[in-house]
Structure formats: structure tokens, C-alpha cells
A and B are shown apart, each in its own frame.
Chain A
Amino acid sequence: MHATDTTPDEALPEDVLPTTALQEAGRLMTVCNSCRYCEGLCAVFPAMEMRRTFTSGDLNYLANLCHNCSACYYDCQFSPPHEFDVNVPRVLAEVRNESYQAYAWPPAFAGAFERNGLTISIVTALSVAAFILGFVAFRDPSVLFATHTGPGAFYRLMPHNAMALLFGLAFLYALVAMGMGLRMFWRDIKEPPETLREPPSLWQAMKDAGSLRYLDGGGVGCMNEDERPTDNRRLYHHLTFYGFMLCFAATSVATLYHYVVGREAPYYWYDLPVILGTLGGIGLLIGPVGLLVAKRKRDSVVQDEVRLGMDVAFIAMLFLTSLTGLLLLFLRETPAMGMLLAVHLGVVFSLFITMPYSKMVHGLYRFTALVRYAKERRTLAESHATAG
């Protein structure tokens, strides 16, 4: 007998994984768990070592824990062209992207992830068009192209309460839909809901996510084009994320101004909402451009090439949000203000309602995966401590 004659069905796990990507991820985790050389690079491999067999829930958890720094690909002695064909960043990216679709709520909208770039472009175009038409329909076109200045200038085009209601509802919808997605994710990985209420795990995850600790290739920086590390993606992601948060803070402060202090937009350039929004907006211009350039240069072998459209669409939406917002700020005292406001509101509205069906969800699933990882690490450390 030749030992190599062993029938292939021996190699199949007990419960067959539902998709090709999950099956490949299951194969890879078995390879990686036999090696473990990468365990110092990020959170994925230590989490993998806590398991010996991998269900689809386990793999979805690991996939969402992966930040795609790609160090493990270039450090792996078995990556292609080796016959073991170990490509963890790409396969986990595929599993992760499939998981976004699987968790989408309502499930009827899951198809939005299929051709995500196209879907988001269409929704955005329709949204912008609706705002322009709305302004024209509800107001005299001359109002749209007139120059408005002073407090309440924007609200001559759209009443503040209408704006607040519309965007409040859109944002609420996004929150509910993403909350339902998170519920699906949490059930899939079989983690009790209480984990999300543990302060130490939450705090650890906030530190890890806030610093993008696992996008640093284990300390030298993530890898993008080849085995030479760079830290560009982390830098640009920071600009994007913190830029976004500043813009969000600007809107929140402005809302408080409006309802609590009774001061109406537009505000002076030295006012807090404008300063926050401008700083955030600049970050949200440079960050996405940097991420897009990095993505363009990126070694295609470590990417989920089929779903690049989703990444590009989301980055583009953030960029457009910022660009239209800043243009509105600079040209608000000209006749262009009306159109710019319509375009900006259209883009932001689209960003809100497509949020649960866009790359935005990566932040939610990755952050919560980090919460679970923090808990697992702590439990493991405690069990080692009691074991002596």
C-alpha cells in the first residue's frame, strides 16, 4: 500500500462547511494550527490556537478579527507558489465579505452586497437627485440659486425640522439594521450577549481598535505591495476614522446648538462645529485618498478581488461626504450653496441608508470580534494563573 492512497474523504471535517471560502478557511486554519509561527503577528492566530476544529461560526469570528495586514502571507513558508497554497489574508477577506452578506438585515437586502459598488452608486445618485428635485419642487427654483447668508440660511431651502426628522429616521434605520446584523453575528459565533457588556473587554477592544493594533504586522507595519512593511494603511485609516468621528462630533455639537442654545447654522469659521467639521473633513479627504492609492498598489494576491467594488464604494462615499461638506462650507455665501447643499445632503442620506449594506459594517463586526477576543484572552490568562 502506498500511504498516499488514503482516500480523500478522510480529510473532510464532520460537518461540511457551507461555502468554498469557508472550506478553504477551515483547511488553512488546520495548516496554521500545525505551524503557529505567526502567532505573534496579530489576534487571529492566538484565537485560532484556542481551537482544534473550526465551525463556520469560528471561521467567521476569525475572519472578522483579521485586519488584513497581510504580514502572515509574506512571512509564510507555505504561501503560493508553495503547493500548500496558504493565503490567509485573501481567504479570510472572502469569508469576511461573505459574512457581511449573511448577517445583513433585513435578509431581503443582503443582495446589496453582491454588486455593492454599483448598488451604492445608484442609491447615491438617486438620493442626490431626490434632494435637488425636492428643493425645486418645494421651493421656488429662484430660492435654490439665490444667495443666502446669516442664521437659518440653509433652512430656507429645507426646514430644519424636516431635515432633522429625515436624517434622524435614516440614521435610526441604519442603527437598527446594523444592530440586527450584530445579533446575527453574535449568534453565529455562539457568544453570549453579556460579553458585550463587560467593561474590561470593551475597554481593551476600544484600545485595540482605536490604535489599529493588529494592522501593524506584529510591530513593523502592515504589508501592502510586497514583503517590505509600510505603515501607510494604518495612517490613512486613522485619518479616515478620526476624521469621520470629528465630522460626527461637529454634527452633534451643531444639533445641541440648535435645540439647546437656539443658535442656527451656518456658524462662523471659529465656531466649534465648523472647526471640528473642517478638521474632520480634511482627515476624511486625505485618509480615503491614501487608502484608495494603497488599495490600487496593493498586491492583488492578498485581496478579495471579486468584492473590491465594496471597498472602493465605501471609501468613495466617505470622500464625497467630506468633499461636498467642505465645498458647502467654502461656497456657502455664493449662489452655488443651494445645489451644494442638495448634493451634500443627498450623499450623506445615501451614506446613512446604505450603511448596513456597505463596508461600514466591518467596523462593527471587527470591534465586537475584538471584544470577544479580549474576553477569551483574559479567560485563558486566568485559567493559566489558577493552573499555577
Chain B
Amino acid sequence: MIDAKRRYDVLVIGGGNAALCAAISARRSGASVLVLEGAPKFYRGGNTRHTRNMRCAHDAATEILTGPYTEDEFWNDLLLVTKGRTDEDLARFMIHESKEMLTWITEQGVRFQPSLGGTLSLGRTNSFFLGGGRSMLNALYLTAEKLGVEVAYDAEVVGLNIDGGMFVSAVVQHEGAKLEVRAATLVAASGGFEANIEWLKASWGDVADNFLIRGTPYNRGTVLRMLLDSGVESVGDPTQCHAVAIDARAPKFDGGIITRLDCVVFGIVVNKHAQRFYDEGEDIWPKRYAIWGRLVAAQPDQIAYIVFDAKSLDLFMPSLFPPIRANSIRELGGKLGLDPEALDATVTGFNGAVQPGTFDTTKLDDCRTEGLSPPKTHWARALDTAPFYAYPVRPGITFTYLGTRVDKRACILMEGGTPSANMFAAGEIMAGNVLGQGYAAGIGMTIGSVFGRVAGREAAAHARN
């Protein structure tokens, strides 16, 4: 499949949303395109496989979106989640481009539907992929293939020849051989390094051994590393990653969406010493979802347990593994391998501190604790109704923030800020430009699609000159 004798106009490294948008847009601009996906065909697409929606600005309600979401509102949301750690110019450019994306990506075969059951809060802002992320990928690959984009799977890039900021060729490990692939331009869309435990350990230390990776084992950051080692300017905090608390029984890699747990706000969370360590009811769950990975990572052995009672069992989305169940708190402690007395004492203390209130999951209610440290400030109800339940949780890493700096053409910037002659980047590998910290649902796909499309178009234009 890979023609080592040929010089492609555009070489795309990666196989997810950003890579495919780049490949399609480059091909539609008349370029010859080769896509190198490091994973086998089933695992193609990296984190895109696990996505479900995309956040795009729009001025009016559509068939699938319940109301308008203006560019300004999008910008304010981004400002809020990143606490200002964003490149305003680039972010506003992306938000503006996102408006056209809903039409453009539909033209590439991607289909949308109204927000999924259990995600009504996103019905106005986010467009959901019909059939999910893998369905979206299937559509993009089908379109790319029809257009004549060449795709190679199990094609891991192990070397890059970059000469003074100019891409010359890539060395690819494919079908048992190492091939050198030449191209006029490069689009790096190969994701982050969240599956590279050694790299995570460099920032986190040995605790990273206890992290679970929510996406495929193929997001190893090999290309990002090579680019940064070749004088490309980095962006984003190398120690930052998007981490949520997921079911500890999940597999090491690729557990995806179904291992997430949405029940923290309905119970208490204790560490391996059966002690609470953070306000479980601080804010509505979608706003606090992404802090719990980091909180659990800071606990001994990076494990914690969400404990709740029968009253709350049906209040949240079901997940893959059933909760561990017992008829008393002591028995539950024993099943979890915790000190039963300590867990009983923690629950008794918590129950004693719960104040009367009106429980309401739709708002910040007045059910709170008094005189407890840390407090639980909302949705605090005594754990008094058997059976009692618990989920063990560990940090689940979704993606990393460190990436390559780019400009509005998606052109990679070299150290010192000069644009590279022929290298572009799109997707998670450059998400840190827009997303210095925090996250808003669906924004990763916006970054990927918008900058993927721009990168493909710019790379094709450059290759023609």
C-alpha cells in the first residue's frame, strides 16, 4: 500500500478525526495524500473512537440542536473552563470556523442526531454523532477512500527527517519492514501521549502506574516527541492531563465511556483508609466531573471508593460493572477490603452531620453537612437505606495537553516563533494552543475538525507551489 518510491503531496500521520479531516480537505484541494495510522484497522482513529459529539457555534436552532449557540457564548465558555489559559486569536478563529463545520463535516458523510439520553444539558451546544465516534470515523474513512486518499494501517512512524524546520521524510515501520516515505508536506495529527506510561511517569512519578487509560494503547506520543526534539515550539503544560475517576475494574486501556461513574454527588467518596477527602457536592456533576481523577491520584495507592445507599441507585446513568453491594456498611467495608470499623465511623460521622433539606438533583440544593471536614455542600443525604453500594475508582486519563504550537494556518511554529516551511498540526497534538487547561464537552472534536480541515487545505496549497 505504501509506495516508498513516490513523493506524496501530503503525508498525514494519525488516523482520527483531525487526520481524516486533513486528508479529505487536502485531497479535495487536489493533493495526493497518504494517511499513516499506527493502529490496526479496528483500533483506527485513536480517541475519536470514543467520542460522541462536537461543539460548534450556530446562530439558530437546527433539526438536532435545540437553540442558538453564538460565537461569543462559545468563547465565554472556553474562557471559563480554561481560566484564561488559551490563545484568544486562535480560539476565536476556531470558534468562527466551527460554524461552517456542521455543514462541511455532514458533506463528508458524518451524520448527526439530537443529544443522547442522559445528556440533555448538551442538547443546545453539542451535535451528537449518529452511531457515535466510530460511526463518524467509518463515514470519514469511506469518503476519504472514495476520494482516493491512500490509507495504511499498522503503520507506525518511528523516525522523522526534519531539516531546519522543513519536513523531508518519515520512517515507517510497516509489515515487518522500515520504509522511508517522502512528501512535500506533513500534517501531524497523531494525538497525545496518554498511553505512554513512561512519559506520564516523568511528570507524575510512580503513581502513574496506577492510572487507567481511557483510550487505545496507541496514543504513545512518538511523533510529538520527535517534533519537540526537532526544534518545534511546545505549548501546554507537560504535567497536565484530563483525568476523571473511572471504575477501578476497567481494563488498563480503552475502557472508554462505559467505565465512567456519575454517582459521586449522590454519596461519599473515601480513600483506602475509609476517610473522606473532598466535598462531593461542590457543584453540579458536569462541572466537577474532571477534577476527580486528579483528586484520586493524590490519594494513597491512587484508589478511592464511592459509597452510596439504595435511595440513589437509579439516579445516575448505569455503567459497565455493577456496584459492590452489602446489607450493612461494615459488610460493605469488608467486601471492599477496607477497615469495616473505620468505614462505619466515617459514615456515622457523615450521617450525623447531614442537615435537613429538600433533595433536588436539578439544582444546587440545600442538603448539606454541618461541622464536617471536608463538608458536603449539596445533595448530602444520610446513607441509611440498605442495601449499601460502592464503586472502586481510579484515575482514568483521557488526553494530555502538551503539544506543538501552531498558527491560524495550523502551521507548526518552530522555537522562536517562525513558521515551519511545510509542517502542519491538527487535533490533540496541538489542542493545548486553545485548551491550556480544563475541558468542555465536544471541544476536542471541534479542534480536530477545524484545524484538520485548515491543515489539509494549507498543506495542499503549499504542496502545489
A and B pair up: yes
In the assembled complex, which residues on chain B have CB atoms less than 8 Å from the CB atom of A3?
248-249, 303, 392, 394
In A249-290, which residues have CB < 8 Å from any B CB?
Answer: none
Q: If A6-B249, A33-B318, A35-B258 touch, does A227 touch B138 (CB 8 Å cutoff)?
A: yes
In the assembled complex, which residues on chain A have CB atoms less than 8 Å from the CB atom of B134?
74-77
CB distance from A31 to the nearest CB of B (A): 6
Tell whether A1 is near chain B: CB-to-CB under 8 Å.
Answer: yes
Complex contact B258–A78 (CB within 8 A):
yes
Task: Write the chain A residue with the least CB distance to B135.
Answer: A75
CB distance from B212 to the nearest CB of A (A): 10
A31 and B314 alpha carbons, distance in the complex (Å): 16
In A145-191, which residues have CB < 8 Å from any B CB?
Answer: none
Task: Write the chain A residue with the least CB distance to B141.
Answer: A227
Tell me the total A-B contact number using a CB cutoff of 8 A: 103
Q: If A52-B318, A75-B134 touch, does A35 touch B257 (CB 8 Å cutoff)?
A: yes
Task: Write the chain B residue with the least CB distance to A34.
Answer: B258
Interface residue from A1, A35, A49 paired with B336 (Cβ < 8 Å): A1
Tell whether B176 is near chain A: CB-to-CB under 8 Å.
Answer: no
Tell whether A228 is near chain B: CB-to-CB under 8 Å.
Answer: yes
Complex contact B131–A40 (CB within 8 A):
yes
Complex contact B324–A6 (CB within 8 A):
yes
Complex contact B319–A75 (CB within 8 A):
no
Q: If A6-B249, A77-B50, A219-B111 touch, does A38 touch B132 (CB 8 Å cutoff)?
A: yes
A207 and B319 alpha carbons, distance in the complex (Å): 34
In the assembled complex, which residues on chain B have CB atoms less than 8 Å from the CB atom of A35?
132, 256-258
In the assembled complex, which residues on chain A have CB atoms less than 8 Å from the CB atom of B322?
10-11, 30
Complex contact B318–A219 (CB within 8 A):
no
Interface residues of B (CB under 8 A from A): 42, 49-50, 52, 111, 113, 116-118, 128-135, 138, 142, 248-249, 251, 254, 256-258, 272, 303, 314, 317-322, 324-325, 335-338, 392, 394
Interface residue from A5, A30, A36, A82 paired with B117 (Cβ < 8 Å): A36
Tell whether A142 is near chain B: CB-to-CB under 8 Å.
Answer: no
Interface residues of A (CB under 8 A from B): 1, 3-6, 10-11, 30-31, 33-41, 46, 49, 52, 71-72, 74-78, 81-84, 218-220, 227-228
CB distance from A113 to the nearest CB of B (A): 33
A39 and B135 alpha carbons, distance in the complex (Å): 12
Complex contact A36–B324 (CB within 8 A):
no
12 contacts between A and B (CB under 8 A): A3-B249, A3-B303, A6-B392, A30-B318, A36-B118, A41-B130, A46-B117, A71-B135, A76-B132, A77-B256, A82-B42, A83-B251
Interface residue from A38, A41, A74, A219 paired with B138 (Cβ < 8 Å): A74
CB distance from A39 to the nearest CB of B (A): 6
In the assembled complex, which residues on chain A have CB atoms less than 8 Å from the CB atom of B128?
40
A115 and B303 alpha carbons, distance in the complex (Å): 52
A39 and B117 alpha carbons, distance in the complex (Å): 8
Interface residue from B132, B138, B337 paired with A37 (Cβ < 8 Å): B132
Task: Write the chain B residue with the least CB distance to A218.
Answer: B130
CB distance from B459 to the nearest CB of A (A): 27
Complex contact B317–A34 (CB within 8 A):
yes
**9 additional contacts (CB under 8 A) given A5-B337, A81-B42:** A3-B249, A6-B392, A37-B257, A40-B113, A75-B132, A75-B138, A77-B256, A84-B258, A227-B138
